[in-house]
Structure 1
Amino acid sequence: MLAMTDKSADTLLQNFRNKVTRNMVWAGAVTLLALTVTQLWLAHYLQAAVMFTSGIVFAAIAYTFRAQRIPNYWRLLFMVLLTAICAMSIKQNGVIGVYWAYPLLVSSFFMFRDGYAIALATTITVATSAAAIAFMELDDAWRITASLTVILVLGSVFVVMLGRMQRLLHQLVITDTLTGLQNRQRLTGVLNELLASFKRYNRSASLLMLDLDHFKLLNDKHGHLFGDQMLKQLANRLKQRLRVNDQLFRVGGEEFLVVLPETDLAEAKKVAQKLLSTVSDEPFEGKDAQVHLTVSIGVAQLRLEQSWAEWINSADTALLEAKRKGRNQVCVAEGYTEI
């Protein structure tokens, strides 16, 4: 009944960010190694040595973390070395050396996020401007400082706006638009965290798979808009009866999943019975009619040998059994015992 992908939206977004960062480090390595030849030809041996060493370091970082996130301290080292090389270039080449400051400044906004990116970009702007003032004519130095400051301000605005947009898009991706509940995009990460906690600390956890009974008949009789009203009311009722740490997801048309951290099978059954009564005891008020609704619930406690997919399947199977037995009841996954 419930199909899910192995990768959540969070994971896909993080993988994309990691790939961008890694490619930037690779690009830095290739560029510096190529420029080493130019510096040797110009007899700038110290700068050539620094560029060559930095290029090798960058290549090693990119290769070492080719399949994972580059830690922040290596990213910071990447930016510090590039800033130092830029300052050396300004000292050695004057205005020509300043050209490297602009892509360096822009890179800082991609290497880090939000306030960290702005802080790093500010540091680069100050360091580069100081080098320009120290090694160049004042008329040129203040123009360079002004242009870098403009880029810093515009980049900071971009970072702030992009951060807000990403958070908004992330919220839209993981939220069901009808009920306001979390959707299946967020579920994978939550279940994996519970699996890790169970394996490491032996903290129990349970799932409730819940399905609204005869929902198709409800839609056929009253219309889909009426059905949507009932789903929203159902979501609100369920949320009101759940505990603070419990999490509620809408994972299908009329199907919901309740995640119960640190909850064994006996306690999970009690929660399921409360939810069953919450739905059936009071009628639901629609715009044009009042209806009585019921739900069927499958309960499954996490077992050591299970993956999250097998855990969900256990709860799903129990739900099917509850429906087979006549609906409006709770069934426990087969093979579980209350302890």
Structure 2
Amino acid sequence: MDLFRKSADQTQHTTEDVVSVFTRKVANRTQWGAFAVVLPLAIVQAYANNWLMAAWLAAFCTYSLTLAVRSRQASLEQTHLLIFVTMLALAATYSTWINGIHGFLWSFPVMASVVFLLKRKLAFVSAFIFYLLISLAALVSMPLDLAWRGILSLGAMVVLTITLLVLLQRMQRNFTDLATTDTLTGVYNRKRLNVELDKILALFKRSQGDVSVMICDIDWFKPLNDKFGHLQGDRLLIQAAATIKQSVRATDSVFRVGGEEFLVILHDTDLSGSVVAAETLRTEFEQKVFKVKGAEASMTLSIGVAQLKQGEHWTDWLERADQRLYQAKDAGRNRVIAD
């Protein structure tokens, strides 16, 4: 199918991709910045004969430089980032222990790094542990009135930073939904389809699990659209999408790929199982009474079905299903034909 093949040749970027790239860039700059800032501090500590702190900062500089070089090409695993922020946190805690307020001031950028670089749950736990450690160090090494003011200020910054992070993550999910959801029907759109198909293909190569696809087209939709008008035609499409979603399983994925054309990915389903699902959908769709403009309308579906084969690219897989769809239409419509 030319339409699917054309889409496969285009680079697709979801909101998750954009955020992931942005996060990696920020992490990379944080690592370079940490190296540039901490290296002079390590030299100062060595000059002051504070060899333990100097050695720790030198080790951190080496690790930070290594991560900075590696993260230019790919995102780092959480383990590496956890080690990075742990070394920062321990250095700030020890510096507070021996230097008082002069070391405590470093806890603010360190805390921001902990919250931002790690995933949410790990970030929350790590931030809480660091907050306890730095608070104890401050109470021991600083005057009490100065210590509790600093501890409260750091706590307020943690709350604000975490709140901002949660809001940003919610915005990310909302933007992702907007970018990958059909605005009319609420099912997934073509951009999300291409991403899902790439994931399915990669998973299929590893696990060889069954996966099938149904391509559904509403029969004679244009005459209905002309009869009731485009606004009512949109209402029919919304009801059609809802009917398809209700017919298939919650684990299956529904996409709108054309004006009145929908695609359903059936996970863990072989060809015979997908034919049963398609026939069930076709029957339910035919029996459904669609409401439009104070009247009732009936619609039917033609469905093409195909199961993914070993060594097959998803463009060929969808093309086989699309060919079966055309055969169903040529055979009189309102029927299921499987490959």
Q: TM-score, normalised by structure 1?
A: 0.85
Give the direction of change, closer, same or farther, for the CA distance of 1:155–1:282 in structure 2 (3 Å limit): closer
Q: In the alignment, which of 59, 73, 77 is matched to residue 67 of structure 1?
A: 73
Offset from partner CA, 1:106-153 (integer Å, 9 cap, x none):
122211243432322222222222222222222322221121122122
Inter-partner Cα distance in structure 2 for 1:163 and 1:282? 39
Deviates more, 1:199-208 or 1:175-184: 175-184
Inter-partner Cα distance in structure 2 for 1:322 and 1:11? 38
Q: TM-score, normalised by structure 2?
A: 0.85
Q: In the alignment, which of 273, 298, 307 is matched to residue 304 of structure 2?
A: 298
The alpha-carbon deviation at position 43 of structure 1 amounts to 4.7
Report whether the alignment pairs 1:247 with 2:253: yes
Aligned residues: 333
Deviates more, 1:123-132 or 1:5-14: 5-14
Which consecutive residues of structure 2, in runs of 5 or more, have no partner in the other structure?
Answer: none
* Contact 2:16–2:172 (CA under 8 A) maintained in structure 1: no
* Contact 1:33–1:51 (CA under 8 A) maintained in structure 2: yes
Residue of structure 2 in register with 1:287 after alignment: 293
* Contact 2:181–2:189 (CA under 8 A) maintained in structure 1: yes
Inter-partner Cα distance in structure 2 for 1:284 and 1:296? 17
**Identity across aligned pairs (percent)?**
36
Offset from partner CA, 1:310-330 (integer Å, 9 cap, x none):
322332343344445554333
The alpha-carbon deviation at position 332 of structure 1 amounts to 3.5
Give the direction of change, closer, same or farther, for the CA distance of 1:281–1:88 in structure 2 (3 Å limit): closer
Residue of structure 1 in register with 2:156 after alignment: 150
Q: In the alignment, which of 49, 56, 63 is matched to residue 62 of structure 2?
A: 56
Tell me which stretches of 4 or more aligned residues in structure 1 moved more than 6 Å: none
Inter-partner Cα distance in structure 2 for 1:16 and 1:251? 30
Offset from partner CA, 1:148-188 (integer Å, 9 cap, x none):
12212222333333344334443444433332323334334
Inter-partner Cα distance in structure 2 for 1:6 and 1:156? 31
Give the direction of change, closer, same or farther, for the CA distance of 1:322–1:19 in structure 2 (3 Å limit): farther
Residue of structure 2 in register with 1:117 after alignment: 123
Residue of structure 2 in register with 1:136 after alignment: 142
Which consecutive residues of structure 1, in runs of 5 or more, have no partner in the other structure?
Answer: 334-339
User: What is the DSSP-based 3-state SS (H/G/I as helix, E as strand, rest coil) of the residue aligned with 2:249?
Assistant: coil
Residue of structure 2 in register with 1:14 after alignment: 20
Amino acid corresponding to residue 62 of structure 2 in structure 1: I
Give the direction of change, closer, same or farther, for the CA distance of 1:325–1:241 in structure 2 (3 Å limit): same
User: What is the DSSP-based 3-state SS (H/G/I as helix, E as strand, rest coil) of the residue aligned with 1:203?
Assistant: coil
CA RMSD of aligned residues (A): 2.7
Inter-partner Cα distance in structure 1 for 2:263 and 2:142? 65
User: What is the DSSP-based 3-state SS (H/G/I as helix, E as strand, rest coil) of the residue aligned with 1:253?
Assistant: coil
The alpha-carbon deviation at position 64 of structure 1 amounts to 3.5
Residue of structure 1 in register with 2:263 after alignment: 257
User: What is the DSSP-based 3-state SS (H/G/I as helix, E as strand, rest coil) of the residue aligned with 1:182?
Assistant: coil
Give the direction of change, closer, same or farther, for the CA distance of 1:198–1:91 in structure 2 (3 Å limit): closer
* Contact 1:205–1:302 (CA under 8 A) maintained in structure 2: yes
Offset from partner CA, 1:83-123 (integer Å, 9 cap, x none):
12212333454322222111111122211243432322222
Q: In the alignment, which of 307, 318, 322 is matched to residue 313 of structure 2?
A: 307
Give the direction of change, closer, same or farther, for the CA distance of 1:76–1:186 in structure 2 (3 Å limit): same
Amino acid corresponding to residue 161 of structure 1 in structure 2: L
Residue of structure 2 in register with 1:175 after alignment: 181
Give the direction of change, closer, same or farther, for the CA distance of 1:28–1:278 in structure 2 (3 Å limit): same
For residues 185-264 of structure 1, what are the structure 2 equivalents within 5 Å?
Answer: 185-264=191-270
User: What is the DSSP-based 3-state SS (H/G/I as helix, E as strand, rest coil) of the residue aligned with 2:251?
Assistant: coil
